Amino acid sequence: MLSVKNITKSYGSLQVLKGVSLDIQPGEIVSIAGSSGAGKSTLLHIIGTLDKADSGEITLQDQRVDLLSGKKLAGFRNRHMGFVFQFHHLLPEFSALENVCIPGWLSGKKKKETESRARELLITLGLKDRIDNKPAALSGGEQQRVAVARALINNPDIVFADEPTGNLDSKNARELHRLFVQLRDTSKQTFLIVTHNEELAKMSDRVLHMKDGKIIDNVVMNNL
């Protein structure tokens, strides 16, 4: 489903990614772990088309996304990819429901249809009583679950999560990862997660360890 071949990236004389390749299958949770500066977030941002590689290929659902640009790239990203970041980036003046709806509305989906899907997602994620609350009235864990619902609103092929638990305490962090597992089990959702937390990475199907701009191993977890 997702194929990444020989990605390189440099900032000036500093080579951050040194020919990284990986494949992800539908319904798989893959974590990229490693210390700060290993190149994890840079890789995620390039695969998610938020940054450009110097060289290499990225194919998602038979589409060479590294060859897209402008409106075509933005449209493809909005339809096929979801994003969860360390900071939730919710818009403070909008309710949880409205925040979740925004990518749906941007993609041209009907208002009622989008609101119905957003409501369903928020209920699934345990936020039934928080649907009309604005972000300031939500806890950190609740805000991040709203961000997950927003990432799922367009039924993306893959969700990219960059240190999604970085701002959460250990209890909420474990709950968020369990949520990813639940979404994989119930709706075959695919995730690529960057984390420095080894304990949480081990809840994935596979863990890719990065060091100095390269993937140094690919560990299949036995979480059955």
In the predicted structure, residue 191 carries a pLDDT above the cut 90: yes
The reported pLDDT for the residue numbered 14 is: 93
Asked which of 10-14, 21-25, 79-83, 170-174 is least confident by mean pLDDT, the reply is: 170-174
- pLDDT band (50, 70, 90) for residue 171: confident
How does DSSP assign 38-101, residue by residue?
Answer: SSHHHHHHHHTTSS--SEEEEEETTEEGGG--HHHHHHHHHHHEEEE-SS----TTS-HHHHHH
CA gyration radius for the chain?
A: 17
The pLDDT assigned to 72 comes to: 92
Q: 206-211 and 214-220: which strand pairing?
A: antiparallel
pLDDT at 109: 84
Topology at the third CATH level for domain 2-93+156-220? Rossmann fold (3.40.50)
DSSP 138: S
Q: How confident is the model at residue 223 (pLDDT cuts 50, 70, 90)?
A: low
Mean pLDDT of the chain: 91
Q: Which amino acid is at 62?
A: D
- Could you tell me where the DSSP H helices lie in the chain? 40-47, 70-80, 96-106, 111-124, 140-152, 170-187, 198-201
138, 146 contact by CB (below 8 A): yes
Per-residue pLDDT, averaged over 194-219, amounts to: 90
Residue 224 has pLDDT above 60, yes or no: no
